[in-house]
Structure 1
Amino acid sequence: MQIETPPTEKPYDKAEGERRGLIIVNTGDGKGKSTAAFGLALRAHGRGKAVKIYQFMKVPTARFGEHRMFEQLGIPVEGLGDGFSWKSKDLDHSAQLARDGWARARAVILGGEHFLVVLDEITYPLIYGWLPLGEVLTTLRERPRHVHVVLTGRRCPEEIVTMADTVTEMKLIKHAFQAGIPAQRGIED
C-alpha cells in the first residue's frame, strides 16, 4: 500500500450547471449494482423524496432483506418478473411480464410524481429482446426534467450508456462464489 498525503485543497471546482433529473447506470460483472441503486433510494427517501423501485427479474412475492426493510420504511418495491430465466417454465410468459412491468414503470416515470425511479435489472429484458430499446430511450429522453432514473444490470446497452449522465461499471476482481462459498443470506439476497 502506498501512503498518500491528504489533499489540503478541494480537487475540483463547483459545478455551475442547472440541477435536473439524472440518468444513472450501474452495470458490469461485479457485485453492487442493485446495492448502489438501493443506497440512492434510501438517500432520496431520507430527504423526503418520493421513490419507486421496480425489479424486473424478481417475483412479486420476493421477500429478500431489501424488501423487508423498504417495506418498513415505506418505500414501494415491485417485483415484475418470475425469477432467473433458467428457472422459468415459459420464457414467453417471462417476456410478457417484463413488458407489462415496463408499462407500469414507464407510466410512473412519465407521471412525474416520483423524484427517483429505480429500474433494477432492466438490462436483462432489454438484452433478451423482451423490451423495445427504442421505447426505453424515448421514455428516458421525455421524462419530466426533475425525475431521476437509475438502471441496473450487466451489459447495459451502449445507447443507454451514451444517454446517461453517470455510468458506473462494477468490475469483478474476486467473488466468494468462485471459491465455492454459497450465497450468504443478508449479503446476497
Structure 2
Amino acid sequence: MTTESDDRKDSDRHATKMAKKKAARDKIMATKSGEKGLIIVHTGAGKGKSSSGFGMILRCIAHGMPCAVVQFIKGAWDTGERRLLTENFGDLCQFHAMGEGFTWETQDRERDIAAARAGWEKAKELIRNPEIRMVLLDEINIALRYDYLDLNEVLEFLRTEKPALTHVVLTGRNAAEGLIEAADLVTEMTLVKHPFRSGVKGQPGVEF
C-alpha cells in the first residue's frame, strides 16, 4: 500500500527526471538555428505515404504558405484531398492531377511516359517558383521505378535548381537508392496489416 509520502517521492523523482530531459533537449535545440528547404521522401510498402505528404500540405496552408501538388499516378481518381484542396484552398495550393491511373490500368507505356513527363515539367515549373514553399510530388517514385522519368535528371534538378527554402516531398513505394541518399528526411512506411488482404476494398476517407 502506497502512502502520501511515497506518492510525493514518486512525483519528485518524475519532476527531476523530466527537468534533466528538458535541460538536455534545450541544449540540443540551442545548436539548431538554420533553416533550409528539405527534400523529403515517404516510401515503403505500408499505407500512409501520400496521406503524410498531404498532411504537410495542410500544415503549409494553415501557416499561409503557398504550396502545390502534382499527382503522377492517381490523376484519374476523385480523391478527398483533391476535393478539399481545390474547393477550399485553391488560393494557397495549386493542384495538378497529371496521371491517368496505375500502369496496369492504362496498359499503355507510351501514354504513361507522356503523362509522367508532363507531370515532371509542371513540377519543375512549380519548384522553380520561390513563392511556393512546398511541392508534393505524389507517387513520383512509381514513375521513377518504371523508368517513366530519368532519376539522374530529377536528382540534378533538385540539386541545382530547387530554391534554397523550398521543400519538396516525393512519395511512393520503392524509392530509388540515389533519391534516398540525396534526401534530407526519409520515412519508410512498414506494412504490418492491411484490410485489402482480408477482402476489404479501398474505401473513401481511408484510401482516397
- Please say if residues 72 and 143 of structure 2, whose CA atoms lie closer than 8 Å, have aligned partners that are also in contact: yes
Question: Does the alignment pair 1:29 with 2:45?
Answer: yes
Work out the CA distance in 2 between the residues paired with 1:121 and 1:31: 13
Question: For 1:182 and 1:132, how far apart are their aligned partners in 2?
Answer: 33
Give how far 1:104 is off.
Answer: 1.1
User: Which residue number in structure 1 is paired with residue 34 of structure 2?
Assistant: 18
- Work out which of the two has the higher radius of gyration on C-alpha atoms and give 1 or 2: 2
Is the 2:41–2:180 contact (alpha carbons within 8 Å) kept by the matching residues of 1? Answer: yes
> CA-to-partner distance for each residue in 1:76-109, whole Å, 9 max, x for gaps?
2211111011111421111111011101101211
Task: Find out whether 1:129 has 2:144 as its counterpart.
Answer: no
> Secondary structure of the residue that 2:74 maps to in structure 1?
coil
Can you give the 5+ residue segments of structure 1 that lack an aligned partner in the other structure?
none
Partner residue in 2 for 1:68: 83
TM-score (norm 2): 0.84
The alignment partner of 1:95 has SS state of helix
Q: What whole-Å deviation, never above 9, does each CA across 1:143-183 have from its counterpart, x for those lacking one?
A: 11010000000000011101111100000000011111111
Contact 2:42 2:189 in 1 (8 A): yes
- AA at the equivalent of 1:102: W
Give the TM-score, by structure 1 length.
0.92
SS of the equivalent of 2:206 reads: coil
* Alignment-derived partner of residue 141 in structure 1: 159
Q: What are the ranges of 5 or more consecutive residues in structure 2 without an aligned counterpart?
A: 1-13
Q: Is the 8 A contact 1:22 1:149 kept in 2?
A: yes
1:154 equivalent in alignment to 2:169: no
1:153 and 1:62 map into 2 onto residues whose CA distance is 16
Cα-Cα RMSD = 1.6
Q: Secondary structure at the match of 1:188?
A: coil
Q: Which amino acid aligns with 2:83?
A: R
Contact 1:110 1:139 in 2 (8 A): no
Residues 109-136 of structure 1: per-residue CA shift (max 9 Å, x gap)? 1232210000000001111111011110
SS in 2 for 1:76: strand
Hey, what does 2:4 align to over in structure 1?
A: none
Return the match for 2:131 from 91, 96, 113: 113
Aligned counterparts, 1:162-173, within 5 A: 162-173=181-192
Report whether the alignment pairs 1:50 with 2:62: no
Q: CA deviation at 1:138?
A: 1.0
Equivalent in 156, 175, 181 of residue 194 of structure 2: 175
Q: Do the aligned partners of 1:55 and 1:121 also contact (CA within 8 Å) in 2?
A: yes
1:54-93 Cα offsets, whole Å, 9 max, x none, are 110022x532111111122222221111101111142111
Counting helix residues as a fraction of each chain, which structure ranks higher? 2
Give the equivalent residue in structure 2 for 1:92: 110
Structure 1 runs of 4+ with >4 Å offset = none
Q: What is the total number of aligned residue pairs between the two structures? A: 184
Identity, % of aligned pairs?
40
Separation in 2, partners of 1:166, 1:92: 32
